[in-house]
């Protein structure tokens, strides 16, 4: 089946007031839409956050967004609608110090969820608490982040903290009440002028928790609650009226970065691991599953700087894995279910090999062109009962941005993102039995994962300087993604102040 590529209308509107002189405002805009994002990975180390910019800035922003999806994984929303606010600052001091922070709130409606009553779905997938009814879910997310770095003559160090909390509920049966928290702490150091190189290392720690609590007000016709394993299977001993689940996890990470003094070579490698156990309180806190998330990222970038322009290339590799360890349980006794043994039954491995190019003009206006091509693989297996889905893809994309100043009072920023992904191979063997709803969900997900995709995103941002220390900007946008006989839309609007 073929999908015909259509031009979307994507526009994001945002208003912001900047507390800098006009030249600083324009420098920050060009920095935001410029080459910084091409080498963004080095800022995973807080001791290298000085590369984020050379000027202080602060922003307060409100935004609204809505998405409608005809093609999607069925355990995820068919669409979202909500609003949020965000404030952030980046402050530079003369004595080599940098201080940054952000705070945000988001209120969002997630539509038509099926076979999933949990949150933070990408993180805990596939070990969801689920039922066959589902419905819309209202979510709130609070996030806070902050960091500090200090540079000495040849050495620098930095630390950062990120915390996010999420709440989700539904006002009709089934009525889940979900609460999660995610705390991440990171610290790093950098040695400068080591044979004309900057060498940096960082480490991180993560603590994650989530609680699921499902209630039914109706005393008749209550659906069974499942604690799903991989690819639609579940443990029969935990099926029925076990309405609570608790996820508890710890993780760590490490990374290394190398940058030459001229700023035209960048090398970054990092690794992260998070192990999450799911407990069932109604069964004497038996461990229903242990999920190990891990990922490797590596990239090398070479830039060539000329008088009025720069160009370069980047080779990157990303490998993400999930491994699920599940118990063999005995029948219930007076103390609840008992674990007889554990087995690694589930794996999910995804990889992305990517070549990216960049060209950027540097003058009164700024034009950035960045095409890329990537090869991707997706391998998901459940070995307890032979079941799998394997896919490979070839993708090509393009990112464009153009920034222009008019009379040193008006600033326009245009963006365009295009992606075309073709499925090279697909092979799957999934459950197809009397559990018709689960079987259909898996078949729909496989069809979604095996589909070609074409996506276009357009955006325009207008900035208006009101005073030397006050400016206003607005941004509007729309996106469209085309699948065989299906279309996804996204629209968003933001307004805010910078000072």
Mean pLDDT on 10-29:
51
Backbone φ, ψ for residue 55 (5° rounding): -125, 145
The single residue listed with the structure tokens 């993604």 is 481
Running DSSP on this structure, what letter comes out for residue 31? Answer: H
Instruction: State how far the Cα of 384 lies from the Cα of 271, in Å rounded to an integer.
Output: 29
Burial of 129 (0-12, 13-18, 19+ CB in 10 A): buried
Residue 334: the pLDDT is 67
pLDDT tens digits, one per residue of 126-141: 999 999 898 999 999 9
Using alpha carbons only, give the angle 101, 253, 205 rounded to the nearest 5 degrees.
60
The single residue listed with the structure tokens 């997310």 is 141
Backbone φ, ψ for residue 123 (5° rounding): -70, -45
DSSP secondary structure of 15-39: -----S-HHHHHHHHHHHTTGGGGG
Using alpha carbons only, give the angle 489, 495, 499 rounded to the nearest 5 degrees.
145
Tell me the pLDDT band of 104, cut-offs 50, 70 and 90. very high
Asked whether the predicted pLDDT for residue 96 surpasses 90, the reply is: no
DSSP-H helix ranges across 344-482: 436-449
Tell me the pLDDT band of 149, cut-offs 50, 70 and 90. very high
Both tokens of 102, joined, read 């952000």
Instruction: State how far the Cα of 463 lies from the Cα of 472, in Å rounded to an integer.
Output: 5
Mean pLDDT on 337-348:
94
Residue 332: the pLDDT is 66
Using alpha carbons only, give the angle 100, 209, 293 rounded to the nearest 5 degrees.
85
Both tokens of 419, joined, read 């992606």
- Cα distances from 288 to residues 134, 153, 245, 334, 387, in angstroms, run 22, 52, 9, 18, 20
pLDDT tens digits, one per residue of 455-491: 999 999 998 888 877 788 899 999 999 999 999 999 9
Residue 455 CA, distance from chain mean position: 18
Tell me the pLDDT band of 12, cut-offs 50, 70 and 90. very low
Most confident of the ranges 15-19, 54-58, 338-342: 338-342
Using alpha carbons only, give the angle 450, 455, 396 rounded to the nearest 5 degrees.
75
pLDDT tens digits, one per residue of 387-409: 999 999 999 999 999 999 888 78
Using alpha carbons only, give the angle 108, 113, 119 rounded to the nearest 5 degrees.
60
Instruction: State how far the Cα of 67 lies from the Cα of 279, in Å rounded to an integer.
Output: 34
Mark 312-346 as b/e (b = at least 16 C-beta within 10 Å): bebebebbbbbbbbbbebeeeeeebbeeeeeeebb
Instruction: Collect all residues with Cβ–Cβ distance below 8 Å to 220 and sequence separation of at least 6.
Output: none
Q: Is the domain defined by 22-498 classed in CATH 1.20.120?
A: no
Both tokens of 344, joined, read 């690694």
Percentage of the chain lying above the pLDDT 70 cut: 95
Both tokens of 460, joined, read 């325009």
Both tokens of 73, joined, read 């994984």
Tell me the pLDDT band of 191, cut-offs 50, 70 and 90. very high
Give the Cβ contact number of residue 484 at 10 Å.
14
Beta bridge partners of 467: 470
Using alpha carbons only, give the angle 124, 169, 327 rounded to the nearest 5 degrees.
30
Mean pLDDT on 282-297:
96
Domain ranges of the chain: 22-498
Instruction: State how far the Cα of 208 lies from the Cα of 248, in Å rounded to an integer.
Output: 6
Tell me the pLDDT band of 33, cut-offs 50, 70 and 90. confident
Both tokens of 356, joined, read 């990216």
Instruction: State how far the Cα of 294 lies from the Cα of 252, in Å rounded to an integer.
Output: 10
pLDDT tens digits, one per residue of 228-282: 999 999 999 999 889 999 999 999 999 999 999 888 999 999 999 999 999 999 8
Backbone φ, ψ for residue 257 (5° rounding): -140, 145
* Of 157, 247, 178, nearest in space to 207 by CA: 247
Which DSSP helix (H) or strand (E) runs through 288? strand 286-305
* CA-based torsion, 43, 46, 51, 54: positive or negative: positive
Residue 241: the pLDDT is 85
Residue 13: the pLDDT is 31
Work out whether strand 129-130 and strand 79-92 pair parallel, antiparallel, or are unpaired: unpaired
């Amino acid at each position: 089946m073929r999908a015909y590529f259509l031009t979307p209308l994507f526009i994001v509107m945002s208003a912001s007031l900047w507390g800098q002189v006009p030249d600083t405002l324009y420098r920050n805009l060009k920095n935001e839409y410029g080459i910084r994002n091409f080498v963004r990975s080095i800022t995973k180390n807080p001791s290298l956050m000085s590369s984020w910019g050379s000027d202080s800035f602060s922003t307060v922003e409100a935004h609204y967004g809505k998405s409608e999806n005809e093609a999607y994984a069925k355990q995820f929303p068919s669409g979202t609608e909500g609003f949020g606010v965000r404030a952030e600052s980046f402050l530079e001091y003369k004595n080599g110090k940098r201080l940054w922070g952000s705070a945000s709130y988001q209120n969002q409606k997630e539509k038509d969820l099926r076979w999933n009553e949990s949150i933070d779905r990408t993180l805990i997938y596939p070990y969801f608490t689920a039922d066959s009814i589902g419905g819309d879910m209202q979510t709130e997310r609070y996030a806070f982040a902050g960091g500090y770095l200090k540079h000495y003559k040849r050495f620098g160090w930095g630390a950062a903290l990120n915390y996010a909390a999420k709440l989700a509920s539904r006002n009709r049966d089934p009525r889940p009440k979900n609460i999660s928290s995610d705390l991440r702490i990171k610290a790093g150091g950098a040695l400068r002028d080591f044979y004309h190189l900057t060498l940096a290392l960082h480490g991180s720690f993560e603590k994650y928790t989530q609680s699921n609590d499902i209630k039914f007000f109706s005393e008749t016709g209550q659906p069974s609650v499942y604690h799903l394993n991989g690819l639609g299977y579940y443990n029969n001993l935990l099926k029925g009226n076990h309405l609570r689940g608790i996820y508890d996890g710890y993780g760590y990470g490490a990374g290394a970065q190398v940058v030459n003094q001229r700023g035209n070579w960048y090398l970054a490698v990092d690794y992260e691991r998070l192990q999450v156990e799911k407990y069932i309180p109604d069964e004497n806190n038996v461990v229903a599953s242990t999920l190990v998330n891990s990922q490797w990222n590596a990239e090398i970038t070479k830039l060539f700087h000329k008088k009025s322009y720069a160009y370069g290339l980047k080779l990157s590799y990303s490998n993400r894995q999930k491994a699920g360890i599940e118990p063999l349980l005995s029948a219930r006794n007076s103390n609840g279910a008992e674990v007889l043994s554990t087995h690694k039954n589930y794996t999910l491995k995804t990889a992305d090999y990517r070549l990216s190019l960049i060209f950027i003009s540097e003058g009164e206006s700024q034009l950035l062109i960045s095409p890329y091509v990537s090869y991707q693989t997706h391998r998901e297996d459940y070995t307890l009962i032979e079941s799998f889905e394997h896919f490979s893809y070839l993708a090509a994309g393009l990112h464009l941005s153009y920034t222009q100043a008019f009379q040193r009072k008006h600033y326009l920023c245009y963006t365009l993102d295009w992606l075309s992904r073709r499925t090279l191979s697909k092979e799957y063997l999934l459950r197809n039995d009397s559990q018709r709803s689960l079987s259909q969900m898996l078949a729909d997900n496989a069809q979604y994962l095996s589909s070609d995709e074409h996506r276009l995103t357009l955006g325009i941002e207008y900035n208006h300087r009101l005073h030397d220390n006050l400016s206003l900007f607005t941004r509007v946008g729309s996106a469209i993604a085309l699948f065989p006989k299906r279309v996804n839309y996204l629209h968003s609007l933001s307004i805010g102040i910078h000072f």
